[in-house]
Amino acid sequence: MVKIAVLGYGTIGSGVVEVLEKNRDVITRRAGEEIEVKYILDLRDFPEDPYADRIVHDYEEICQDPEISVVVEAMGGVEPAFTFAKKAILAGRHFATSNKALIAKHGAELIAMAQEKSVNCLFGASVGGGIPIIRPLNCCLTADVIEEISGILNGTTNYMMTKMADEGSDFDDVLKDAQQKGFAEADPTADIEGHDACRKIAILTSLVCGRQIDFEDIHTEGITKITATDFKYAKAMGRRIRLLGSSYKTGDSYCAMVAPYMLDDSSPLYGVNGVFNAVFVRGNMLGDAMFYGSGAGKLPTASAVVADVIDIVRHKDEHIPLEWRPEKLELVDYRQLTGRYFVRTTAQPAAIEKAFGMVTVVEAEGVTGETAFVTGEMDGYAYEQAAEQMGDILQCIRVK
């Protein structure tokens, strides 16, 4: 029997315990051994919970128990999660987590520690919740050079963008609705400003290039400036607005960014609605593939965590290699990417043509007092120069 400790008994931690209990027989068969939760670390007490007798408040109690061979972190945040992770790994315990903030910041360091101690550090639930994307990148696509990863990586923003498109609602109204339904936190900053998606694309890019990508270096735009008027234009164009985290191989490096895009129906991400997530991958040998499913939620995320625990138990006497070295990779400036831009402006047609040359004008029902257009293909530097020359810009959204 393998005995584990679960750190944090919130949404994900309680989900891990629930998955282990409900699917006990199949998990035992697939892992090759029974897995038992011996400790649950939390500051709170849960007197009515069936696992109340396993709640502890001091991490040292877990550290000092030689029976614990796997530590599962489900607390969230960087600290004290990082301190607890280091203690576990340096003590020779395997470690599994769904914590994207922790992995984006310290993933390479934890992987290096685990290799030195011949234990495993797995984090398959840190990107995409229940979507199996990290394991395929580590195992199934290792013969490919990954040329592009583009994904809808945040269910909260995707729910909001879908609802604004379907109902014509304003941003603030949709955010309140998402909070009432539990899709958005009381403080939604990490979601709506793109920080959550930024950490996730940093993790994916680090895995495909094998080196550290600092999420602070990734250009990030959120959805707070997207309006109901933008969706009127998107509808007129037969497009949908989605927040994407993207990474493109550029020479010997990668170019990564998070920003809203207007997608047409040729994009595999076009039909991803509601709280669902999807990750599109292009490999130089594979071609195109997409991974789709529940990107968050208690049981989908917990299922992915437990899958890592099963993998750890199967390999408890060996180290599962992950290529993610601590050496930092300098990203290519996002403005080197070429593409088209949807622009709304109050500038006169002559000023538009002088700055951008030939453009495609877009009209939307019920919108007056402005001009909207789609530019030709240009890089970010050229767009910034043209935008500064024209002035009077109301909105800019990239077109994919």
Q: What confidence tens digit (pLDDT) does each residue in 317-341 have?
A: 999 989 899 999 999 999 999 999 9
Binned at pLDDT 50, 70 and 90, residue 130 comes out as: confident
Q: Which residues pair with 256 in a beta bridge?
A: 247
Please, what CATH class does the domain formed by 337-399 belong to?
A: alpha beta
pLDDT in tens, 23-45: 999 999 999 999 999 999 999 99
Mean pLDDT value across residues 73-92: 97
Superfamily for 2-129+298-328?
Answer: NAD(P)-binding Rossmann-like Domain (3.40.50.720)
Which of the following CATH numbers is that of domain 134-294: 3.20.20.330, 3.30.360.10, 3.40.50.2000, 3.90.660.10?
3.30.360.10
Rama region for 238: left / alpha / beta (φ>0; ψ in -120 to 50; rest): left
- Find the helix packing angle between 11-22 and 298-314, rounded to 10°: 60
The CA-based angle 217-220-221, given to 5 degrees, is 165
pLDDT, mean of residues 186-190: 94
pLDDT bucket at 183, cuts 50 / 70 / 90: confident
Q: Report the C-alpha gap between 375 and 361 in whole angstroms.
A: 9
Residue 141 has pLDDT above 90, yes or no: no
pLDDT in tens, 104-116: 999 999 999 999 9
CA distance 158 to 278: 10
- What pLDDT is recorded for position 295? 80
Mean pLDDT of 221-246: 97
Its sign, for the CA torsion 159, 368, 398, 360, is positive
Q: Are 376 and 320 in contact (CB under 8 A)?
A: no
pLDDT score, position 297? 81
Catalytic residue among 163, 200, 249, 400: 200
**Separation of alpha carbons 336 and 376, rounded Å:** 15
Tell me if residue 200 is catalytic. Answer: yes
Confidence label for 142 from pLDDT (cuts 50, 70 and 90): confident
Element spanning 110, H or E: helix 100-117
φ/ψ of residue 243, rounded to 5 = -85, 120
Q: What is the mean pLDDT of residues 201-227?
A: 97
Has residue 296 got a pLDDT over 80?
no
Looking at residue 191, what is its pLDDT? 96
Q: Average pLDDT in the 378-394 region?
A: 97
E strands, 51-141, are 55-56, 68-73, 94-97, 121-122
**Which residues, in sequence order, are CB contacts of 58 under 8 Å at separation 6+?**
none
Phi-psi region of 21 (alpha: psi -120 to 50; beta: other; left: phi over 0): alpha
Annotated domain spans of the chain? 2-129+298-328, 134-294, 337-399
The per-residue pLDDT of the chain, averaged, comes to 96
The predicted pLDDT at position 291 comes to 95
pLDDT at 223: 98
